[in-house]
A and B are shown apart, each in its own frame.
Chain A
């Protein structure tokens, strides 16, 4: 399974590297979202700094929607999904591989957005361990949930419009947990943030397991 996962992840990342859709479109878009938040809230540094965690994770979710849609659309043309189904690769491995590729892309985007938040909103990044662990757990949760729901809507004409409706309510707990953990870290009270990190880790495990189990059914029923 892990070998299959590495193969699929390698393929997705290679496609990403060659097409540069994330670098050229999703990354600028996510920075644009940060700028738009500043327009919406007035460039009041204090206000922006106070709500930076929430804005950061909202921007991450928007970028994640695009990254997940992109990951699902790689498999659309030319019967790639049929090939995957017939390739003999373990469905759980395919799921883990696709989720890992999405997670790698998301981590890059999060680093970029973090730089953006520090520069644009004037946030002092304190409590680095908590921030890093939160990012990691939330990324795995978002990537696994997104890959699972991306498979649910793959091949449908209304894919782009249906995915956010399905995904965002499910990701609401991730947004809550990650925002609270970030707030705790930035406020200098990491002890408050670790339980939220636990929630994120739990969500990551839950949706990873659910996705690995369900992916075979989704692949065959498409």
Chain B
């Protein structure tokens, strides 16, 4: 079974179906390790990657060359074509994490866990992108990199939430325990984001009247087209990254399983050898791949 075919379907579906397929695969033993390819691409994702590259190229042309400079913000308006779509997909990533966590808690299939982790990771990348472009834009427009605007503050807190979630995921503990803890934390992610957003918004609105001047909401012509191209390109990049990250997480899960399977197979073979020892004392010692194997086989072999 190749991993490229496993999650080839839309990520969510693959999670459910291949999780059940992994269980019978447990019997394959160490031999199956060779069947797992070392790459995460497939024909569909290569096409998607090419499309994403083309989209980014188009965005560069539209954003930097073809669209006009703003009358008030001049060239800094061009940052918006990355900033706004990245912010949108940041929220998409958080939403996906929460939904996948909820589904993991319901179905307990590892695909959902992998999806939750993958989308949170990409959401963090996008959060960094949003904060970076936002402060670059703020410098010429507001005269400062950072201001205690509601949006900025809550995005910073959202970044911290994502970092905490990923820190919990990265811990080297029992995978099952890690999954359930990560799922509970992921389930709380969107409620936390909403609570933080609302309260920060309320905090700022009480203290300084209206927030700083936002982007002019009426944009049209080439600028609107550029923004749409931005949404398209960033969306393609997001999807492409998500698919690949999901597959890496899936391969990680499989390799953890394979190690376990290899150990189990070794123990079984060893038990079978022990059983046949009386009949054939010149039993060749098996390859000592499992850490538990060498002491037992030598201690068994010495008296024989």
Contacts and interface: CB of A to CB of B under 8 A. Distances in A.
Given A176-B200, A177-B199, A169 B160 contact: yes
B33 interface: no
B97 interface: no
13 contacts: A152-B181, A162-B168, A165-B163, A165-B164, A165-B167, A166-B164, A169-B192, A173-B196, A173-B198, A199-B202, A217-B184, A221-B176, A221-B177
A158 interface: yes
B195 A203 contact: yes
Nearest to B199: A173
Contacts of A152: 168, 181, 184-185
B66 interface: no
A180 B200 CA distance: 12
B206 A217 contact: no
B247 to A, nearest CB: 25
A35 interface: no
B188 interface: yes
A169 B196 contact: yes
Contact of B105 (A169, A210, A217): A217
Interface in A175-212: 176-177, 180, 199, 203, 206, 210
Contact of A176 (B163, B173, B184, B203): B203
Interface string B202-218: 11001000000000000
A162 B188 CA distance: 17
A170 to B, nearest CB: 5
A199 B199 contact: yes
Contacts of B200: 172-173, 176
Interface residues of B, number: 30
Given A162-B171, A169-B160, A173-B199, 15 more contacts: A156-B171, A158-B171, A162-B167, A166-B185, A170-B161, A170-B196, A176-B203, A180-B203, A206-B191, A214-B184, A217-B184, A220-B180, A221-B181, A222-B177, A222-B181
Contact of A218 (B157, B167, B181, B203): B181
A172 B157 contact: yes
A125 interface: no
B179 interface: yes
Given A152-B168, A180-B203, A170 B192 contact: yes
Interface string A151-169: 0110110100010011011
A199 B199 CA distance: 8
A180 B207 CA distance: 10
Interface of A: 152-153, 155-156, 158, 162, 165-166, 168-170, 172-173, 176-177, 180, 199, 203, 206, 210, 214, 217-218, 220-222
Contacts of B105: 217
The 7 closest A-B pairs by CB, nearest first: A221-B180, A173-B199, A169-B160, A166-B164, A165-B164, A214-B184, A176-B203
Contacts of B176: 221
Contact of A172 (B164, B167, B183, B196): B196
A168 B164 CA distance: 10
Contact of A156 (B160, B173, B179, B180): B173
Contacts of A172: 157, 196, 199-200
Contacts of B185: 152, 166
Nearest to A222: B177
A18 to B, nearest CB: 30
B31 to A, nearest CB: 32
B188 A210 contact: yes
Given A158-B171, A165-B160, A169-B164, A176 B199 contact: yes
A115 B85 CA distance: 50
Of A166, A168, A169, most B-chain CB atoms within 10 Å: A169
Given A165-B167, A176-B200, A217 B173 contact: no
A199 B196 CA distance: 11
Contacts of B196: 169-170, 172-173
A214 B38 CA distance: 37
A203 B196 CA distance: 11
B184 A218 contact: yes
Nearest to A202: B195
